[in-house]
Amino acid sequence: MTVKWLLEGGALLLGLMAGVAWWRARRALLQARDAVLEQEKAVCAFTQALIDVMPHPVYVRDAQGHFVLINTAYAESQDLPAEKIVGHTSAQILPDADHAADIAREDAEVLAGRQIYKEVVSRFGFAGVPRNLVVAKRACRGTHGEPLIVGTYVDVTPWREAEQALQASLAREVARRERTQAFVQRMIDLIPQPFYVKDAQSRFLMVNDAQMREMGVSREQIIGLRSYEWMLGREPELVRVVQEKTPRCWRAA
């Protein structure tokens, strides 16, 4: 009886010890899992805080096109709260179905290894106004090895508008110069005597009608030539005089 009791008591004790060991192991596993989850939460929070300070829109999508992560700038650019974007696809948040389809095709190319860097005019616009965007996309792996697409775009509309304004200003200045030159040309054409304007290298910049008649050539044949080039082979002595006098004229001026 005593032996049986000892055996049964020993088995019970071993069972209790095994139960305690199992409970402790389970608690350790749960604590480790909780620690990993907390670490993942901390990494996610840090990543979110990091991209939120970026002034340009940043987003992360999974292989199925769902938004996994976005920053504040992206939500603002879409005029939607983050909870209306994260977990959804472009087709679900964009009003333009064709644009969403283009994004899906491009995402597939990025996952296949293509790197996107291009400038586009947004088809949906911000608040209905088209914008010039420099778009960049790359593929990467998530914390569990899942394929992801990281994208961003920079709104360069102010620079493009500035370029257009500069081009328009340049065009106006060119047109003004051409009008001024045309007016001066008409004025000197009224002078009955030959009249010309030359640069420091003795090249003709402007001539009037009388000068053309004197030289016996058209204005297009004269402009850009040096004074003596049209006389070469005709008036060698006159060529020599012009070559000598031109430097003296500039020294006197």
Q: Is the pTM of this model over 0.85?
A: no
- What are the pLDDT digits (tens) for 200-211? 888 889 999 998
- What are the pLDDT digits (tens) for 60-69? 999 999 999 9
Q: Enter the CATH code of domain 55-155.
A: 3.30.450.20
Residues 6+ apart with CB under 8 A from 239: 228, 231, 232
The mean pLDDT of 209-220, rounded to a whole number, is: 87
CA distances to 10, 30, 36 from 24, rounded to whole Å, are 21, 10, 18
First-to-last alpha carbon distance for the chain, in angstroms, is 137
d(CA 7, CA 3): 6
d(CA 230, CA 198): 14
Where residue 194 falls among pLDDT bands split at 50, 70, 90? very high
What local confidence, expressed as pLDDT, does residue 121 receive?
86
Identify the bridge partners of residue 140 per DSSP, sorted by sequence position: 148
Q: Could you tell me the two tokens for 208?
A: 């009037």
What local confidence, expressed as pLDDT, does residue 84 receive?
92
d(CA 203, CA 201): 6
The mean pLDDT of 8-31, rounded to a whole number, is: 69
CB-count exposure of residue 10 (10 Å: 0-12, 13-18, 19+):
exposed
What local confidence, expressed as pLDDT, does residue 9 receive?
55
Q: Which residue would you say has higher pLDDT here, 22 or 165? A: 165
- What are the pLDDT digits (tens) for 28-37? 787 777 777 7
SS3 139: strand
What local confidence, expressed as pLDDT, does residue 216 receive?
82
CA distances to 5, 9, 17 from 2, rounded to whole Å, are 5, 10, 22
d(CA 225, CA 26): 97
- What are the pLDDT digits (tens) for 96-135? 888 889 999 999 999 999 999 999 887 654 456 788 999 9
Q: Which residue would you say has higher pLDDT here, 123 or 173? A: 173
The mean pLDDT of 190-203, rounded to a whole number, is: 89
d(CA 137, CA 150): 6
- What are the pLDDT digits (tens) for 141-167? 988 899 999 999 999 999 999 999 999
Are 222 and 199 in contact by the 8 Å Cβ rule? The answer is no
Q: Is the pLDDT of residue 88 over 80?
A: yes
